[in-house]
Amino acid sequence: MVKTSLSLNIKRTGENTIGDIMDDMKLRPAPSLEDAVLSPLGEVSVNRRQFMRYGFNAASGVLAATLGALGFASILLPPSGGGSGDSSVLYWAKGREDEAWYGAKHLQPMLKSDFVNEAANSSIGMSGAQGVWNGLPVIVNYVPHAENSGKPIADNSPRFQEMAGYDIGKNYVGHATEFLLGNPDIFDPNNNLIMSFARCTHLCCIPGWQLVSNSYTDDNWTPGGGDDGGSKMFCICHSSRFDPTAIEVNRNANRSTGASFEYLGIRRAGGPAPVGLPMIPIIMNGDTIEASSDYTGWLTYCD
């Protein structure tokens, strides 16, 4: 497998481009308990159904189409001038995300200890946050892999799962274990952190993601990388779900050229997205979460 690397030639399309873009991506109002009780479907506590209902509307479709046309290069911006360097990952908590646990940390460097502290509030020990890295939207999730990987696989005992991956045509692409044997620098499961690109593989939306440990998602986990369990990343545009614990090799294509590439990513668990989200390798600098730009070719599907 060829490592696809894209030079980060920074293109600044406007002084506040990333802010302008992400300002438009505020979360829609989360479904309320009252909504659940009054739902004609009779659903009381299945948040996923509520996300489905809130996700399908014309406004989000227009938004997704607009963002998809912007392309990868147009959202690349120089790193912040705060001296944190272009490898640092910063929290993004503008808009509705300011109600998330990292709401007061907007544009502050992501620290692993923050995720550990937040995971202590979860019954399954997971946490997640939206971020920005080199101007790109990203998501970081904490999974208590090191603590659970030696235990029998069971519900609510989350750990990273290395799985076989299949493309949109259901063709086998590869297995994550085999891939990682040849590319161990990409992912260290015992670091308990995983980072992925945050443009949905459905219509390239950059949504306000509903993340694990968000108060609107179910705090539970089931093994297998399927659609059960609440520990998913929800794209609020059309409610695609991705399992941050399920790692697979997959295949995607550049929307303009059709050129396909294989990548290591997290599994699509449900919804209209055809394939999973590509990973971005994490580099730890003490407690600070940084990232490698060696595999940015995996992020080009929206170009």
Interface residue list for ligand FES (CB under 6 A): 64, 200, 202-203, 205, 235, 237-238, 240, 271-273
The nearest distance, CB 12 to ligand FES, in angstroms, is 25
Cα separation of 257 and 283, whole Å? 31
CA-to-CA dists, residue 97 to 22, 193, 211, angstroms:
11, 20, 10
* Residue with smaller CB distance to ligand FES, 77 or 203: 203
Structure tokens at 18: 């990333």
The nearest distance, CB 238 to ligand FES, in angstroms, is 3
For residues 289 and 140, is the Cβ–Cβ distance under 8 A? yes
* Residue with smaller CB distance to ligand FES, 130 or 192: 130
* Residue with smaller CB distance to ligand FES, 273 or 282: 273
* Residue with smaller CB distance to ligand FES, 189 or 225: 225
The nearest distance, CB 213 to ligand FES, in angstroms, is 20
∠268-274-275 over CA atoms, to 5°? 50
∠43-48-49 over CA atoms, to 5°? 45
* Residue with smaller CB distance to ligand FES, 119 or 235: 235
Q: What is the DSSP string of 231-300?
A: --EEPTTT--EEEEEEEEEEEEE-TTT--EEEEEEEEEEESS--S-EEB--EEEETTEEEE--TTGGGGG
Q: CB neighbours of 116 closer than 8 A, spacing ≥ 6?
A: 142
The nearest distance, CB 79 to ligand FES, in angstroms, is 27
* Residue with smaller CB distance to ligand FES, 269 or 291: 269
DSSP conformational letter for 220: -
The nearest distance, CB 210 to ligand FES, in angstroms, is 12
The sign of the torsion formed by the CA atoms of 157, 163, 168, 170 equals negative
Cα separation of 273 and 209, whole Å? 14
Cβ-closest residue to ligand FES?
A: 200
The nearest distance, CB 23 to ligand FES, in angstroms, is 18
